[in-house]
Structure 1
Amino acid sequence: MSIISALPIVQGNEGAVVVPVSDGLILERPHEEVTIPFAAMARVRAEERCLIIELRARAGAEPVLHRLDDVTDPRATALADGVNALLTELATDTEPGTEVDGAALAFVRSRGATWSQRFMRRVTRWMLGFAGAVVAASVLIGFAGDAAGIALLVPIGGITIVGLWIAVPTLGAWNHERHLMKHGTTVLARPATSSGTYLFTDPAGTTRAVPHLSSAPYVKVSHDPGDPTDAYPHKDPGARRFDLAVGSLILFCALCGLVMVVWTVFTALTGDRLSQAA
């Protein structure tokens, strides 16, 4: 639609911004973004340096409002006028008397760090610390004059780091998902209009998006009751068993490598050098 291409982007306070897209508006905030389809909107108002997106509501229900404060008046007015003109056009294609709950059509996508991202950051710090320890141990072994020890420590240490980097996140995610499935809140999620996304409703009534590649008409999603942004779609039981088996095998191999690293460092620094043993 030509109207959409002419709609301006409106910026507000604290980094919030409203961006027009092909099928609606996206309200971006520092930690989340709200996707509001045109079908969910009743009208858009620009008043007193504030942009207000009013959602459609059923008869007798209070409409949900999304606000963007401290906006530039001309751009906000242009956006409101353009969207309202578009809504008027779309209304002609809607059957009269049709009631729509706009809050059920709009959905929230978290932009903050997820549990997986926070956990991966911790694992990365641990692995960098371990890599530093391997380098320091290699230097000490070099001072001890054990060339064979260095030749053994460096590859084994590298392989161990890679193994732990794969196994720990895999098993950590598996355990976290198991915890959510057992102690969290489980709901059904429906597909969104965009592929790879499913929508579920949290206890507060907010519709949230969760990424998931599937063609199923619905999927089960478990989330933390105190933090609905921490949500995971249920995997196939076979896929979960595969993750557990592969993660456990890699972890076992990595722990064997860790034992060999410790043994190599110990024998080199106590004078029982591998080169002498050879």
Structure 2
Amino acid sequence: MTLLEAIILGLVQGLTEFLPISSSAHLVITQLLFNISFDGFGFEILLHLASVLAVIIYYRKDLINIIRGFFGYIMTRSKEHKVNFWFSIYILVATVITGLTGILFEDYISTALKGPTMIAISLALTGIFLIIIERAVKTGGRTEKDMTLFDAVLVGIGQSLALIPGLSRSGTTLVVGMFAGLTKETAVRYSFLLSIPVILGSTVLAVDELIHGELLEIAGALPLTVAFIVTFISSLLGIVWFINFLKKSKLIYFAMYCFALALFVYFFLGNVDPDQF
């Protein structure tokens, strides 16, 4: 892997990870266009680690408050910590649902539901759901103070759907959160914070591959380092941009992009071997 390829892959991963347009689909498409391939999931996990580091940095104050609230409420039962305590529980509930779904169905999904046609369909569905939530569903006014366990279960199920190739994790959690009546800002915050345990959990499962795999030998230390740094910086910029974008614009623009990308994948990558996806 050259330094230019490392920069491009880092930019693609970072800029798309937290947008409702499926970063995994973009990463696969980019690797196909540049004829780059890696065995296993080591490279993808490495870039995801850079993205989750960006989330941790951006939401560092929120994370400190949530952790304090979790332990503070357990120890004192103080109303001051109640909201953050329950918000942490909602994050855990959605994460457990996603984790169990992954353990039970990921092998089936990764073999039976992969390939360009499936990715194109998933991207198109993402676009449809974004239009529905923007046009047909009235945005709710509920914040984390008003959330319930039922909301967490719904979002956890939505996040589990992102195991299907081409479905955006941030997109599904955002859509389901807004459908449940959360404000756009609360749904985005919940979605981003949910990415931390999900990505870290998948990293733990692939840690042996990262340590003992051939990724370093194949890609090289410098390109991997550059890819990680570029992913981190572009992820941080992507988070800031997306949050500001949602304050003054519409999700429908992402829907149009998903439709265009779905057509590209279907017509220009439709003959690609599904095992490359």
What TM-score results when the alignment is normalised by the length of structure 1? 0.28
What TM-score results when the alignment is normalised by the length of structure 2? 0.28
The structure carrying a bigger strand percent of its residues is 1
Structure exhibiting the larger radius of gyration computed from Cα positions? 1
The structure carrying a bigger helix percent of its residues is 2
Q: Which has the higher contact order (CA 8 A, sep 6+)?
A: 2
